[in-house]
Amino acid sequence: MPYQPDPSRPPILTPAGPAPAPSYSSGASAPVAPLPRRPLPRNPYLRLFALPGARAFTAGNLIARLPVGMFGVSTVVLIAGTYDSYALAGAVGAAGLVAGAVTAPWVARLVDRHGQARIAVPTTVWAVLGLLTLVLCAHLRAPVWTLFAATVLGSTMPNLGGMARARWAHLLKDDPDARHTANAFEQAADELCFMLGPVLAAFLCSAFFPEAGALAAAALLLTGVLIFAAQRSTEPPVAARGSAGSPLRAPGMPGLLAVFLATGAVFGSMEIVTLAYVDGPAAGPVLALQAAGSCLAGLVYGRARRSAPLAACLAAMAILMAFPLLAAALTGSLPALAGALLLAGAATAPTMVTGMGLVQRLTPPGRLNEGMTLAVTALLGGIAAGSATGGWLADHAPTPLYGYLTPPAAAALALLLCATTLPGRRARALNRS
C-alpha cells in the first residue's frame, strides 16, 4: 500500500517553508531533510570571526601583543628609578630594538620552516627568561653591562602580529576582500595595544612596585603565546624546504621595504617631537589620540571592499601629517594640536594595511612570516631614524616646533620612493589582486 505520512508528526521545516508530503513507497528509505544554513553576518568583521577557530587564535594573539606596548615604559621606569639615569634606560631600550631587528627575520624564517607552534613557544620562553633576568639585574642594581646582556640575549620574541596575519592569509586565501578586512582588524589591534599597553604599565609600576609592569608583561606574553600556539587547526601549513626563495629577492620587495623605512621615520619623529613640544604629563594622552585616530580609521577602512593604491595612502599621509605643524604654528593651542594629531593618525592604518597587503602578495609562498617580519624590521629602523632626527631638531632648532617638519617630509619621501620603486602599473595590478 502507498506510504501515508503520520499526521501526528510536525512537518519538517526547510529554509523555503514546510516540506511537501513525500510520495515514495514504503520500501524506499526516507530522504534526510537538509539542515537550514545560518546566514552569514553582513558585518565583514563578524564574518571573520564566524570562521572556526578564528576567535580563539585572535584572543591568544591579542593577549600576547598587549605586552609589546608595555615593555618600553616598564623598562624605562625600572631602570631610571633604580640607576637614576634616563639615558641608561634609553640606551638599554635601543639595544633591545637593534638586537630584535637582527634576530626577528631569523626567528620568522624558522617559523616558516617548522611551524608557528614549534618555534613561537620556545623563542617566547627564552625572551621571557631574558626579561626576568633584566628585572632581577635591575632590582639587585647589578653592573650596567648585565642590563645590556640580558636585553640582547632575550631579544627572541616572534613577530606576533605577523603570525596572526599569516593565519588570516591562510584561512582567506581565496577571498581578497576578507583578507583586506582582516589586515585592517590586525592594524587596529596593533594601535589598540600601543594605546593601552603604556597606560597599563605605568599604572602597575606606580600603584604597586617598579618591577610590576615588566612582570605582568612577561606573564601576559607567555600566556597569550601558549593560547595562540594551541590553536593548531588554523595554523598555516609548513612549506617544503627550498620551495621558495628569499623574500628580499622577490620583485618589488626591496623598494617596498624602503617605503616602510621612510614610513617608520614618520612615526618615530612624530612621537619624539610631540613629547618635546608638549613637555609635560599631557604628552601621553595627546599622543594616544594619534593612535586612536589610526585605530578608528583602520576599522572604517576595513569595511571597504578593496584597499586603495599605496601611493594614494602615502599622499594622504603627507598632507595629514602637516596638520600638527599648522596647529602648533598658527594657534599654539594644546587642544588644537590634539585634534590635529587625531586627524593625522587617520592616515596611519590605511597606509599600513595597504602596505602589509602588498607584502603578502609579493612574498613567495611559504615565506610569509619572514616577509612580514622584514617589513616590521624596516619600520622599526625608520622609527629609530625618525626619533633621532626629530630629537636633534627638538634640541638644536630655535623651537621644538621645527621638529614637526620631519613627519610630513618623511611621508613625502615615502611617497617618492613608492612612485620610483613601485611603478604605477605594477602597483595597480597588486592592489587588484
Q: Quick check: 68 pLDDT over 60?
A: yes
Which candidate, 297, 31, 270, places its Cα nearest to that of 188?
Answer: 297
Distances from the Cα of 281 to the Cα of 276, 277, 378, 400, angstroms:
11, 12, 31, 17
User: What is the Cα–Cα distance from 330 to 324, expressed in whole angstroms?
Assistant: 10
Give the pLDDT band of residue 124 (cuts 50, 70, 90): very high
Integer Cα distance of 181 and 303 in angstroms: 6
Top pLDDT among 42 and 385 is at: 385
Is the pLDDT confidence value at 17 over 80?
no
What was the pLDDT predicted at 422? 64
> What pLDDT shows up at residue 39?
58
pLDDT at 305: 64
Give 17's strand partners.
Answer: 14
**Is residue 252 left, alpha or beta, with left meaning phi > 0 and alpha meaning psi from -120 to 50?**
left
Confidence of residue 226 (pLDDT cuts 50, 70, 90): very high
Question: Taking residues 84-101, what's their average pLDDT?
Answer: 78
Q: Report which of residues 254 and 19 the model is more confident about.
A: 254
pLDDT at 432 exceeding the cut of 50? no
**Distance from the Cα of residue 46 to its chain's centroid:** 20
DSSP line for 238-264: PPPTTSS--GGGSTTHHHHHHHHHHHH
Question: Does residue 8 surpass a pLDDT of 80?
Answer: no
Q: According to the model, what pLDDT value does residue 349 have?
A: 85
The pLDDT confidence band at residue 314, using thresholds 50, 70 and 90, is: very high
Distance in angstroms (rounded) separating the CA atoms of residues 346 and 356: 17
**Which residue is it, cell 619600520?**
379
Domains of the chain: 53-236 (1.20.1250.20), 247-433 (1.20.1250.20)
Give the span between the Cα atoms of 395 and 399, in whole angstroms: 8
Q: Which range has the worst mean pLDDT, 114-118, 135-139, 269-273?
A: 269-273
291 within 8 A of 191, measured Cβ to Cβ: yes
| Nearest of 175, 427, 189 to residue 305 by alpha carbon | 175
What is residue 381's predicted lDDT score, i.e. its pLDDT? 82
Most confident of 111-115, 238-242, 372-376, 409-413: 409-413
203: part of which helix (H) or strand (E)?
helix 176-207
Residue 14 forms beta bridges with which residues?
Answer: 17
pLDDT of residue 24: 44
Confidence label for 109 from pLDDT (cuts 50, 70 and 90): confident
pLDDT at 18 over 50: no
Examine the pLDDT at 205 and tell me if it is beyond 60: yes
Instruction: Identify the pLDDT of residue 319.
Output: 94
User: Which whole-number Å values give the CA distances from 79 to 74, 136, 151, in the listed order?
Assistant: 9, 11, 12
In a 3-state reduction of DSSP, which class is residue 17?
A: strand
d(CA 350, CA 364): 24
Q: What kind and span of H or E run contains 13?
A: strand 13-14
Cα three-residue angle 341-347-350, rounded to 5 degrees = 145
- Does 133 or 395 have the greater pLDDT score? 133
Per-residue pLDDT reduced to its tens digit, 316-356: 999 999 999 898 888 878 889 889 999 998 888 889 888 88
**pLDDT of 173 strictly over 70:** yes
Instruction: Provide the pLDDT for residue 427.
Output: 47
- Segments in 84-175 forming alpha helices (H): 86-114, 116-139, 144-153, 160-171
Q: Which of 54-58, 297-301, 362-366 has the lowest mean pLDDT?
A: 362-366
CA 57 – CA 61 distance, rounded (Å): 6
Give the ranges where 230-322 is alpha helix by DSSP (H): 253-278, 283-302, 310-320
- 242 Cβ neighbours under 8 A, 6+ residues apart: none
Residue 312 grid cell: 594614494
Task: Tell me the pLDDT of the chain averaged across its residues.
Answer: 80
297 Cβ contact partners less than 8 Å away, ≥ 6 residues apart: 345, 346, 347, 348, 349, 350
Cell numbers 583578507 correspond to: 179
Residue 80 confidence (pLDDT):
79
Measure the CA angle with vertex 421, ends 415 and 423; round to 5°.
Answer: 90
Confidence label for 128 from pLDDT (cuts 50, 70 and 90): very high
Is the pLDDT assigned to residue 58 strictly greater than 80?
yes
Cell numbers linked to 359: 607584502
Chain center to CA of 400: 30
pTM value surpassing 0.75: no
Q: In which element (H, E) is residue 177 found?
A: helix 176-207
- 82-90 average pLDDT score: 77
Percent of the chain predicted with pLDDT > 90: 16
pLDDT of residue 244: 60
Q: Residue 123 pLDDT more than 70?
A: yes
Question: Using CA atoms, how far apart are residues 289 and 287, in angstroms rounded to an integer?
Answer: 5
Could you give the CA distance from residue 150 to residue 108 in angstroms, rounded to a whole number? 21
